[in-house]
Amino acid sequence: MDDSVQFFKVVHKDELTPGEGSLVFAGVKKLAVFLLDGEIFCIQNHCPHAGASLARGTVRGCIVSCPRHDWGFDFTDGSCKTNRRYSVKQYPVKVDDEGWVHVGVPESELL
Q: Which CATH architecture has domain 5-109?
A: 3-layer Sandwich (2.102)
The distance of Cα 79 from the centroid of its chain, to the nearest Å, equals: 12
Mean pLDDT over the full length of the chain: 96
Is the pLDDT score of 1 beyond 70? Answer: no
In the chain, pLDDT over 70 holds for what percent of residues? 98
Tens digit of each residue's pLDDT (9 = 90 or more) over 84-100? 999 999 999 999 999 99
Is the pLDDT score of 3 beyond 90? Answer: no
Strands annotated E in 1-111: 5-12, 21-26, 29-36, 39-44, 58-60, 63-65, 72-74, 90-91, 93-95, 100-106
Tell me the average pLDDT across 4-31: 97
Tens digit of each residue's pLDDT (9 = 90 or more) over 54-81? 999 999 999 999 999 999 999 999 999 9
C-beta separation of 49 from 69 below 8 A: yes
Question: pTM of the entire structure?
Answer: 0.95
